[in-house]
């Protein structure tokens, strides 16, 4: 196992080199993709204008040696190019993205689109200016009718796999295909009512599998074509949707209100998935290294066990406090992360002190 891991890191290091993208003697070309992971990155914090706030800070944290899931950032210059050239991409971009995906695969031991050992990714926007709620996110990309079974087998958890798949269908349909997420929420609520369930966590693997079928049927009914199954087609659909979100009406209005130039564009961040919905020892949340109200230098935030990011902001479940101090101040009877997941909390606290 150690030799295999070392070989994977060596392969990733070779792929990481910019020389792999632009061999010596070839003409100097614009760099459209910046990779990060395994304690290093091609970008840094000062490159916010090019990589966006999220991409620049992910690169900086990787350079600090923090455990950032590997990924890559497609620069905001691609967004500018996209709109200047009739919503098309630079000729080199596809090859650059494939190379960056291979690097993530080398670091994770998985391969994007592999039916037996699939790499799943998130796709997120990342403008240089903070634009809360204005841009789009897709999680669990790479799942389809085949890879969901591989994920179930590899994780030993069919419920987790189908829960992730139904989340992906909901987000991808809403963000990329234009099928509003409320359609899927209505299907889910009707199913829970019919079967006497109160919480999403009450649903079984078979329940989620049945709902996946209902969700795909809804997409077919709305669009007249099936939900896309090919992972690379899914990825490019999501990348296009992020660039498209820069010019949606919400974003245009927000930029106008906050004097953000249209010419800035947005970057796209593609990152290996880390799952918060794998059971009672996994979680998701929002955290600050300082209390945003008082400025106190202490961890501040909230989390949810067995959930993914949208659950925290959707208000479906009540988040729990990170620290015992915050829990006591809030008068909550739900355990803090500090109490419920002490080892994970210690690691999290150590990382926050670095930042």
- H runs (alpha helix) in 139-279: 147-155, 158-172, 181-195, 205-223, 231-245, 249-258
157-228 under CATH 3.30.750.24, yes or no: no
2-144+230-272 under CATH 3.30.1490.20, yes or no: yes
Domain ranges of the chain: 2-144+230-272, 157-228, 283-354
In sequence order, which residues have a C-beta less than 8 Å from that of residue 102 and are 6 or more positions away?
15
Cα(224)–Cα(231) distance, integer angstroms: 20
The fold adopted by the segment(s) 283-354 is D-amino Acid Aminotransferase; Chain A, domain 1 (3.30.470)
Q: How far is CA 246 from the centre of its chain?
A: 18
- Decide: residue 109, CB within 10 A, 0-12 exposed, 13-18 middle, 19+ buried: exposed
Identify the weakest region by mean pLDDT among 1-5, 101-105, 281-285, 325-329: 1-5
pLDDT tens across 108-159, in order?
999 999 999 999 999 999 999 988 877 788 999 999 999 999 999 999 999 9
Cα(257)–Cα(101) distance, integer angstroms: 37
Specify the higher pLDDT residue, 60 or 13. Answer: 60
Q: Tell me the three state secondary structure of residue 267.
A: strand
- Decide: residue 25, CB within 10 A, 0-12 exposed, 13-18 middle, 19+ buried: exposed
pLDDT tens across 22-75, in order?
545 445 689 999 999 999 999 999 999 999 999 999 999 999 999 999 999 999
First to last CA, the chain: 32
pLDDT tens across 244-284, in order?
999 988 889 999 999 999 999 999 999 999 999 998 899 99
pLDDT tens across 153-199, in order?
999 999 999 999 999 999 999 999 999 999 999 999 999 999 999 98
Average model confidence (pLDDT) across the chain? 91
Cα(28)–Cα(20) distance, integer angstroms: 13
């Amino acid at each position: 196992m150690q030799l295999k891991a070392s070989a994977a890191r060596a392969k990733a290091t070779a792929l990481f080199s910019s020389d792999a993208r632009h061999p010596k003697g070839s003409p100097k070309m614009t760099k459209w993709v910046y990779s990060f992971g395994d304690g290093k990155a091609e970008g840094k914090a000062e490159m916010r204008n090019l990589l966006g706030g999220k991409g620049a800070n992910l690169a900086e944290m990787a350079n600090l040696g923090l455990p950032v899931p590997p990924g890559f950032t497609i620069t905001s210059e691609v967004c500018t190019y996209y709109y200047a050239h009739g919503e098309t991409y630079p000729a080199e971009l596809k090859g650059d993205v494939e190379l960056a995906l291979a690097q993530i695969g080398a670091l994770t031991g998985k391969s994007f689109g592999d039916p037996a050992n699939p790499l799943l990714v998130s796709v997120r926007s990342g403008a240089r200016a903070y634009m809360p709620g204005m841009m789009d996110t897709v999680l669990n990309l790479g799942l389809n009718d085949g890879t969901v079974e591989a994920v179930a087998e590899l994780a030993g958890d069919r419920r987790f796999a189908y829960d992730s798949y139904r989340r992906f269908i909901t987000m991808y349909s809403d963000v990329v295909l234009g099928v509003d997420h409320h359609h899927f929420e209505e299907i889910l609520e009707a199913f829970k009512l019919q079967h006497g369930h109160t919480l999403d966590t009450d649903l079984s693997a078979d329940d989620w599998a049945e709902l996946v079928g209902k969700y795909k049927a809804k997409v077919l009914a709305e669009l007249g074509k099936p939900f896309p199954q090919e992972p690379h087609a899914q990825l490019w659909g999501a990348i296009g949707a992020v660039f498209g979100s820069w010019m949606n009406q919400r974003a245009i209005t927000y930029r106008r209100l906050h004097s953000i130039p249209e010419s800035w564009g947005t970057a796209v961040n593609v990152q290996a998935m880390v799952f918060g919905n794998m059971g009672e020892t996994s979680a998701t949340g929002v955290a600050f290294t300082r209390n945003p109200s008082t400025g106190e230098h202490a961890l501040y935030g909230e989390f949810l066990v067995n959930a993914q990011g949208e659950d925290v902001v959707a208000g479906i479940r009540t988040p729990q406090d990170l620290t015992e101090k915050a829990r006591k101040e809030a008068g909550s009877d739900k355990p803090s992360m500090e109490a419920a997941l002490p080892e994970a909390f210690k690691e999290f606290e150590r990382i926050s002190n670095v930042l």
